[in-house]
Amino acid sequence: MRTTPRRLILGAVSLAAVGGLAFACRTTDTKGGGALAGDAASKVYVSPGKHDEFYAFLSGGYNGQIGVYGLPSGRLLKFASVFSQNPETGYGYNEETKPMLQTSYGFIPWDDLHHPELSQTDGVPDGRWLFANGVNTPRVARFDLATMETTEILEIPNTAGQHASAFTTPDTKYIVAATRFSVPTPNADVAIDSYKQNFKGTLTFISANEPGKMDIAFQILMPGYNFDLGHSGKGPSDGWFFFSSYNSEQAYTKLEINASQNDKDYVVAVNYRQAEQCVAQGKARTAPGVYLHNHMDEKSHQARSERKTGTRMLAPADCAGVAYLLPTPKSPHGVDVDPTGEYIVAGGKLATVIPVHSFSKMQQAIANKQFDGDVQGIPVLKYDATLAGEVQKPGLGPLHTEFDGKGNAYTSMFISSEIVKWKLGTWEVLDRIPVYYTVGHLMIPGGDSKQPWGKYLVSMNKITKDRYLPTGPELSQSAQLIDISGEKMKMLLDFPTIGEPHYAQALPAELIKDKQVKFYRLSENTHPGAVKAEAEGGITRNGKTVSIKMAAIRSHFAPDNIEGVQVGDTVLFHVTNIEQDWDIVHGFAVLGAENSELIISPGATRTLKWTPKTTGVYPFYCTDFCSALHQEMSGYIRVSPAGSNVPLKANTSPKAASQMARLNDIRTPAQTAGAGGQ
Ligand code: RUQ
Ligand code: CUA
């Protein structure tokens, strides 16, 4: 979404540039400040020590992470690792979390994270997990909302540029994934101009409701279109999933022009209960495909990677009624289902209207066989037969729609750079507000669910330009908070975000704030390198591998003097934070280690792998300012030549032991408050 829209602005639709400039030239008054500024400020002001009303989870886009923000303040609370290594936590660097980033292509420390999606119960976000997709190396992740950590990643075989993901069914039985870039399926060395014969898209249904057991339930083989986004039905349309697609032309070069020829592309309606039945009846074939399932075990604090092969692939021609094509103008991007489950709103990014399909009309049209032929066994429904209405003159470049639960819809207009509010059923435009600049996704807490908390709307904009103090050629990302509680939308706040947010999700803080895990129970830690007390620390050699078990506790490591390591050894520092206090985190870093630090949560164990290359004495230290004696939290490891007879030894230093005895209770005031509070 980064390149194409920019091209749109600069090239084909020069209107955008004009529009953008026009906005840029306006005075601050019309930018949503001015007379309203005082009022707006009080609406987003969260006074010191107070908490925000909502947690918001914004995708980090090409940084592969999730930003956790508070709303309405827009304050960044956490930058959480999902598909990318993060030196701030050691995720993807330490031995325990490295398996999370394994794929069938090898270790991939990065991805392009697009669409966070909250788990749901009966169509309403339930505060258990957040799912998200990696576009480049097709993956989906489960992010636990009690620990705010990624606990599971599943690779999606037989797909590429996995974009229509990680959207959930109302019961979280499945999350979905679909191909954005069709590829030979199974992938093979074929001529690119054999696209029409050989290239296919797939729609993947992933069982998601059991933590640690995510797996591919089945895949549906589709024509070689580009599948863009998806949302499940709900209420009357429960059991259906809707995907948008573009490139019904099946172009494979210069897509900008060649995939924009047809007046209409398709929304695909999938009856996934029908698919389940066909699979149960043995109508799916086994497709090859290798994929990895990575899971973090909460007790051993270690992730494991499991290699799997083969999926159940269903061809629509073998399963009547599983899929229908709904013609939709023009190159649709978003596809969003309203809270009642009746309306399916498409974002025809090159269309002049916002087309809305009706689920009940679709059912009738299927019953009456109002078809315009079929594509590879998938019936094409007549446009007029499923159309509920069109929002006329909504603006330019409709992309995504969310709902407030009061009968209104809000659509992001990329090219005309505004949010447009319109009424479901009458299709009249009620209000519009400019956003700065060129909005991609928008988000209302619960706005894609059965029960939106329709108070705020976040506009996630693609172009930042003059919104903040400039920071060189690359500017911060621009999000804006809009009050949607009244008839007219009101701009409340600009807040910068990290990475390029695509979709986001939010929910009331009460749903999850009291469920936050404060520390991991040391008594339940089954990591083989863990220590439960300082006395359990020690050192062992096995051939050229030296393992050190070490405890970290305010304000020392035990042991903290290590000798007998030789050049050519691989040293494994297993460091356990034996604290059982909230937010008392320790770090661990060694001079010259070709890796990030370890950051160890209370009760957890993390392992740093180090291969010293030269002799000498190397200090190690705690990187997280943990107490008044944090600067003292350090130690030495001596490295001798290969074959040396320096004996292996690891001591708890007398100094550290006495410090421990006398000063264990010295804490900074903030930590005392943190440990004792709540
Ligand atoms: S996509 S706006 Cu994944 Cu709409 Cu980016
Ligand atoms: Cu432990 Cu600083």
DSSP string, 56-106: EEEE-BTT-EEEEEEETTTEEEEEEESSS-BTTTTBTTSTTTGGGGEETTE
pLDDT for residue 29 is more than 60: no
| Spacing, Cα 413 to ligand 1 middle (Å) | 12
pLDDT digits (tens, 9 = 90+) for 459-488: 999 999 999 999 999 999 999 999 999 999
Pick the atom of ligand 2 nearest to 627's CA.
2
Direct distance between the N- and C-terminal alpha carbons of the chain, in angstroms, rounded to an integer = 42
Question: Predicted confidence band at 36 (pLDDT cuts at 50, 70, 90)?
Answer: low
Residue 556, ligand 2, Cβ within 6 A: no
Q: How far apart are CA 225 and CA 433, in angstroms?
A: 34
pLDDT-derived band at 430, boundaries 50, 70, 90: very high
Q: What is the pLDDT of residue 151?
A: 98
The alpha carbon of residue 25 and the mean position of all alpha carbons in its chain are separated, in whole angstroms, by 35
The finding on whether 668 has its CB within 6 A of some atom of ligand 2 is no
Residue 665, pLDDT score: 45
Least confident of 36-40, 450-454, 523-527: 36-40
**Quick check: CB of 333 below 6 Å from ligand 1?**
yes
Q: Confirm or reject: Cβ of 608 under 6 Å from ligand 1.
A: no
476: tokens are 């911060």
Per-residue model confidence as pLDDT tens digits over 337-354: 999 999 999 998 888 999
pLDDT tens across 207-218, in order?
999 999 999 999
For atom 3 of ligand 1, which residue has the closest CA?
Answer: 114
pLDDT of amino acid 598: 98
- Judged against a pLDDT cut of 50, whether residue 509 lies above it is answered with yes
Q: How confident is the model at residue 628 (pLDDT cuts 50, 70, 90)?
A: very high
- Nearest-CA neighbor of 158 among 239, 218, 231? 218
- pLDDT tens-digit map of 168-221: 999 999 999 999 999 999 999 999 999 999 999 999 999 999 999 999 999 999
Return d(Cα 221, Cα 205) in angstroms, integer: 12
- Matching residue, tokens 């916002």: 354
Q: Is the pLDDT of residue 16 over 50?
A: no
633 Cβ below 6 A of ligand 2? yes
Q: Which of 134-138, 330-334, 501-505, 663-667 has the lowest mean pLDDT?
A: 663-667
What's the 233 CA to ligand 1 centre distance in angstroms? 20
- Buried b vs exposed e over 628-654: b needs ≥16 C-beta within 10 Å? ebbebbbbebbbbeeeeeeeeebbbbe
Q: Is the CB of 441 under 6 A from ligand 1?
A: yes
| Ligand 1, atom 2: closest residue by C-alpha | 440
* pLDDT beyond 90 at 23: no
Of 256-260, 388-392, 554-558, where does mean pLDDT reach its minimum?
Answer: 256-260
Whether the predicted pLDDT of 6 surpasses 80: no
Q: What is the pTM for the complete model shown? A: 0.92
- Taking the CB of residue 92, how many other CB atoms lie within 10 A of it? 24
Average pLDDT, integer, range 44-61: 97
Q: What is the pLDDT of residue 37?
A: 64
pLDDT at 8 over 50: no
Distance 628 CA to ligand 2 centre (A): 9
Q: What is the predicted pLDDT for the residue at 560?
A: 96
Residue whose CA is at the smallest distance from ligand 1 atom 1: 502
Q: How far is the CA of 239 from the centre of ligand 2 (A)?
A: 52
pLDDT tens figures, 362-377? 999 999 999 999 999 9
Ligand nearest to the CA of 624: 2
Q: Which of 176, 503, 505 to mutate to test the pocket of ligand 1 (most atoms within 8 A of CB)?
A: 503
